[in-house]
Amino acid sequence: MLAKTDIYLSAPVVKFAKNKVNNEEIFKKVEDNFKGDKSEFRKIKSGISFVFKYCDTDNRYLGNEDGKRPLDYAIEASRMVCEENNIEVSSVDLVIYGGIYREYFEPATAMEVAANLGIEKAHIFDVTNACAGLLQSVNVATSLMMSDPSIKTALCCTTDFPDEAINYDIQSFEELSVKAAGLTLGSGAAAWILTREALEKGCVRLLNLHNTSIPNAYKLCQVPVNGRKFTSQSKEVFDLGIEHVPGEIMKVVNELGWDIDDIDYFISHQPSRKIIYQICDILNINHNKAPITHHLYGNTVNVSVPMTLDHIIKENRLKNGSKIIMSSAAAGFTMLTIAAEWVK
């Protein structure tokens, strides 16, 4: 729980990948890679259809514009979030990149982001924690700001373009158990600023942050260095979410002395509509308080939470004092939960 120091998180800036891709286009990619007989493909297509229905997958954005790299989207979002909140880039004291996507093992991807922004000297590093990396970067930035008064402004950003990790090479129905989840992925980038004073454009005041991991589940969901194709034992991962995420949320809520009914919005990572609603049902949270964006953007990895927050901000759903839970569960198995209050 945060102590005396108020830390504020700006409204995010979100950038979308180039191409809006629907389910039929994904089916076509799988069919183009298929080498077996028609009866097996019919089973595969039926299985993928079930996954899309279960997750509420409809559209997602993939691919980058000509002459533009995925990291350029994060740099652009970072520059824009500073401009929109009247933050001089030169005043940024801390830059953390919280995405999975990277073009090299070293140096930290955050170094390139900072260099392109014109930051000459600051605390700069990466935090990698699967789909929870960006929320983890907020957690780390908050902790550093609380322990070091000289850090006034922090930038946390991500770009997650899992395009090359999506495996359309599915030759049997059985392969769907580890490959189907990848077909729901979408691409994008996001950035937000942490400050010690409220921002005029609107921001959330961070009230409590909690991180718990269950490392024995590390094999369930992976993108290996060699091959770089995403696999996920989705049922087992979802089961972990159902078992553990509600308890993580209640820890944060109870520490603040809130009642679960006090929460105005439960802003979740977006792997599936069904899993989000199941967690809501366990907690007795009204489904209307859990905005779903998966059907619009797919599972956009670390961008999911800021993308969903951005969605409800643009729909003018937040009021001064609105209580928010931001939550992400990710491969590992790791969970990040943040309680906050909208300030404008």
Domain residues of the chain, as ranges?
203-343
The pLDDT score that the predictor gives to residue 124 is 98
The pLDDT score that the predictor gives to residue 344 is 86
Q: pLDDT-based confidence at 234, cuts 50/70/90? A: confident
Single out the residue of 133, 135, 171 nearest to residue 36, CA to CA. Answer: 171
Q: pLDDT-based confidence at 326, cuts 50/70/90? A: very high
Q: Fold for 203-343, please state it.
A: Peroxisomal Thiolase; Chain A, domain 1 (3.40.47)
The pLDDT score that the predictor gives to residue 144 is 97
Omega before 230 within 30 of 0, i.e. cis: no
Q: pLDDT-based confidence at 157, cuts 50/70/90? A: very high
Q: pLDDT-based confidence at 197, cuts 50/70/90? A: very high
Give yes or no for residue 204 having a pLDDT over 70: yes
The pLDDT score that the predictor gives to residue 5 is 58
Angle of helix 70-84 relative to helix 109-117, nearest 10 degrees, comes to 50
Give yes or no for residue 3 having a pLDDT over 70: no
- Cβ neighbors of 326 (< 8 A, separation 6 or more) are 135, 267, 268, 305, 309, 336, 337, 338, 340
Question: What DSSP assignment string belongs to 253-278?
Answer: HHHHT--GGG-SEEEE--S-HHHHHH
Confirm if 217 and 240 have CB atoms less than 8 A apart.
Answer: yes
The pLDDT score that the predictor gives to residue 2 is 62
pLDDT digits (tens, 9 = 90+) for 58-104: 999 999 999 999 999 999 999 999 999 999 999 999 999 999 999 99
- Cβ neighbors of 295 (< 8 A, separation 6 or more) are 56, 57, 58, 59, 273
Give yes or no for residue 37 having a pLDDT over 70: yes
Q: pLDDT-based confidence at 1, cuts 50/70/90? A: low
The pLDDT score that the predictor gives to residue 113 is 98
pTM of the model: 0.96
Mean pLDDT of 238-250: 96
Strands (E), the chain: 8-10, 13-16, 19-22, 59-62, 94-97, 123-126, 154-160, 188-195, 203-213, 221-222, 231-232, 265-268, 323-330, 334-343
Instruction: Please give the share of the chain, as a percent, with pLDDT higher than 70.
Output: 99
Q: pLDDT-based confidence at 186, cuts 50/70/90? A: very high
Give yes or no for residue 41 having a pLDDT over 60: yes
pLDDT digits (tens, 9 = 90+) for 102-148: 999 999 999 999 999 999 999 999 999 999 999 999 999 999 999 99
